Structure 1
Amino acid sequence: MGSATLLLALFFLSVLTTVPKVQAAFTCNSSTRSTTCSALIDYVSPNTTTLSAIQTLFDVKNLRTLLGANSLPTSTSPNQSVAAKDKIVIPFRCRCSNGTGISNHRPVYTVQKDDGLYHIAAEVFAGLVTYQEIQAVNNISDADLIEVGQELWIPLPCSCDEVNGSKVVHYGHVVESGSSVELIAEKYGTTEETLLELNGITDPKNLQAGAVLDVPLKVWENLGLRKFNSAELIDIVLFLLSSKALTWLQPSSALPKLVDPDANIYPMLLAI
C-alpha cells in the first residue's frame, strides 16, 4: 500500500513539473488597428513530430508562412522532423474581445477517441491554453462530455495592442528553464519594465519556466523602412523568407542589404 501511494505521488509530481503552469490571458484593448492582427506563439512539441503535422495542428494555411516564422529556407521539406521539446514559432491571426486577445477562431481541433479537454489543452497543445478556456469559447457545459469528431476552437493567447505608442507583433514566448525577464528583454529588443507591465508581473523573480510571456516585437514601420509597390514586395518577401536576414531597405533600392544574418525578419513582414 505504501509503495502504491509513493508511485501515485511521484506520478502527480511528474505531471506538475512537465506541464506548463496555468496561463494568464493577454490584454487586448486595441481600437486603433483592424479587427484582427498577426501574432506569434511558441509551440514546444511534447513528442517527435513533423513540420507538416504542426502546420495541420495549428491550421497554418501555407507552409511557407510557418517556415518564415522559424527562419527556415523555403526549400525545407514539410516532412522535416521536429524533435520532442523543440520549439516551433506558430503564426496566426489574433482578435480582441472584451479586453482579451485570442486567436481568431483557429486553430480548430477535431476530437479523437479517448480525448479529454485537459489532455487536449495540456498535452496536445502543450499547455498554451487551459481546458477551462477551451470549454468557455466552445460553450461546453460539461467539460467531461465531448464527442469524437467534435470540432473545438483553441483560443491561443495574443494581443493587437500598441506598446509604448508603437505598433508591435505580440509574441507568446514560452519561458525556458533558467531564463529571466532581463535575458528575454535583451534578446528580443525590449525592456524589463515593458515586459513586467505587459504581463502583470510585479516581481521578476516570479517568472516561471513554461509560462507564456507576452513579448512585443518591433515591426516593419518602426525601422524607418519605406513602402514598396506590389512587385517589389513580392521579390523582397520571397527573398526574406528564404534567408535569416534582418534588412535595411534603402530608399533607392528594391533589394535588401544584409546587416544581421542571425535575426528573424518575419515579425516585420507581418506588418506589411
Structure 2
Amino acid sequence: MYYNSKKPNTCPMGTTSYMIKAGDTFYSIAIRYNTTVAALIAANPNVNPNALCIGQIICIPIPFPPCPGGNYYTIRAGDTFFSIARRFNVSLDALLNANPNVNPDALYIGQVICIPGPTPPPPVTCPAGTMPYIIRAGDTFFSIARRFNVSLDALIAANPNVDPDNLMIGQRICIPGPTPPGCPAGTTPYTIRSGDTFFLLAQRFNTTVEAIQRANPGVDPNNLQIGQVICMPGIPPTPGCPAGTTPYTIRSGDTFFLLAQRFNTTVEAIQRANPGVDPNNLQIGQVICMPGTPPTPGCPAGTTPYTIRSGDTFFLLAQRFNTTVEAIQRANPGVNPNNLQIGQVICMPGDTTPPPSGCPTGTTSYTIRSGDTFFLLAQRFNTTVEAIQRANPGVNPNNLQIGQRICIPTAN
C-alpha cells in the first residue's frame, strides 16, 4: 500500500522538491522538467504515480550535472559505467571523475550523467524542408518522430550522420516537415483522419493508389499520421451554388437520376445547375448544386440549430442529446431523416450547448476531452464519481461532449 503524505519530503542530493498541482501526472511533470517517468519513479519509491494528491511533495531529479567540455547521456536499461566507458571510448577513471556525485553501483534508468571528451561538431545547416532541433534528456528518434508528426524513416534520412542509438543531450539534428509543399495543379490538400490508408482514400475519391503516391513522393503510405496533409489528385473544387440551389455532397451510389427522384426534380434541372460536372464521373465527397432543396430552417423557441456531421442519424442524435426521434421529427417537419446531408442544419429540441462554467466554491472548471468519463476523471483528480455528479447536477454522465465544461471537486 502506498502512503501519499502531503508533508514535505527530504529530497536527496541530485533532486529538488516539487508540490503537486491539479492535473499533474508523472508524465506531464517529466516533460515539464526535462526528465523521464522512470527517473521520477526511482526518485519517489514510496509515491503511487496513479494516486497523486494536490499539495503532495515529490522529488524531481536534477537532469543536468556539470559537464564542461563533455556531453550528457541518459542511462538506459543494462548500462554500467564499464559498458558506457567502452561505448564512448573513454577510460573508466575519466568517466568516474566526470561524475563525482554519481554512484556507479546505483545507476537508474533516466539518470543523466556526463561523458567526458570534446563536444562533437554540430551538423551542417539543416536543408530546406527541415528545421534544427536540440536533443533533450530522454529523447529518442521514435519519441521525436511522434512529437513532430513525421515518420521514423524520414527522421533517419534527414540525419544520415547521426547514430539514433547514441543521441547526446545538446546534440543538434534536423526535423523534416510532415506537410507536403503547396499542392500542384490538379491536386487538392487533404488532411489524414483516423483509419485512412492510400487504398481507402483511392476508393473514396475515385482515384488509384499509384496516382496518390505520384502526388506525394515524400510520403510513406505505411506511416500516415492523423493531421498530416497530403495532396489528393482529381478532387473537384466545391462550387459556389447560385440562388435557388443548395450544396449537396455526393455519396456512394449517387447518380443524377437517383438524385432527381430523391429531391423531386429532374436530371435536366440538375445538369443546368452544374454545367461543369460530368454526371458519368461523380466522385464521393464532390459537392454539386441541387435545385429546389429546402433552405435551412429558422429554429423555433425551445430548439437549437445543429449541423449534421458524418454518420449522424435521428436515432443517434436522440441518444446523444437525451431526446427522442419523435421529438426531433416534430422539430423538423420538412426534413427527411433518411436523407441527412453533411453540413445540413436541423433544429434540436432542448439546448445542445454545454452548461455555463461558473463553478461554485470548492470546485474547479474542467473542459471535457476525448475519452473522458466521470470514472476516469474521478481517478485523475483524486475524487469520486459521486462527488463529480453532485457538483454537476444537470450533466448527463453518459452523454459527455468534447468541449463541454463541468465542475471538478477540489481535494480537501
Alignment TM-score, normalising by the size of structure 2: 0.25
Q: More relative contact order in 1 or in 2 (CA 8 Å, sep 6+)?
A: 1
Bigger radius of gyration: 2
Higher strand share: 1
